[in-house]
Amino acid sequence: MPTQPLTQQNFEQVIATRAIVLVDFWASWCGWCTRFAPIFADSAAAHPEIVHATVDTEAEPALTAAAQITSLPTLVAFREGLLVYSNPGFQTAAQLEEVIQQIRWLDMDEMRRELGVQTPAVTAPAPPMARAGAATGRPSYGWPGLNPG
């Protein structure tokens, strides 16, 4: 799946309706941003179940300010609508993959307890991707941090 541009108009809706959303805040003048873009695009192709979104900080200054972005590139991740990761700076493909696997294995019930957030009230059955626990993904991965031997 290709990367999806986010704007002030669609940001909240995308974050609220998708299980995992990675957001790359970038600018055209940023050399590290242009180096990270193909890595992020490759990850989007490898993980079509995860939204890989981009925010052009020059075109979206209000959204950039609201997200408190002060350094580029910055990668931000949301799971089940909660901010679970934010890191400024360039990341290699291996580092990005490690972040994805850590996000997949987050215990969202524990995360909500730590943040003091109520579990969302469900009036209709939630789609499988929106439940807490291990997120679906490529079967070649086991527990985070373990290298296949």
Query: How far apart are the C-alpha atoms of 19 and 12, rounded to whole Å?
Result: 13
33 belongs to the catalytic site: yes
Angle between helices 93-104 and 31-46 (to 10 degrees): 50
Query: Could you say which of 6, 30, 50, 135 is catalytic?
Result: 30
Query: How far apart are the C-alpha atoms of 72 and 107, rounded to whole Å?
Result: 29
Query: Could you say which of 33, 84, 103, 135 is catalytic?
Result: 33
User: With contact defined as beta carbons under 8 Å apart, do 144 and 98 qualify?
Assistant: yes
30 belongs to the catalytic site: yes
Burial 83-109, CB ≥16 within 10 A → b, else e:
ebbeeeeebeeeebbebbbebbbbebe
Active site residues: 30, 33
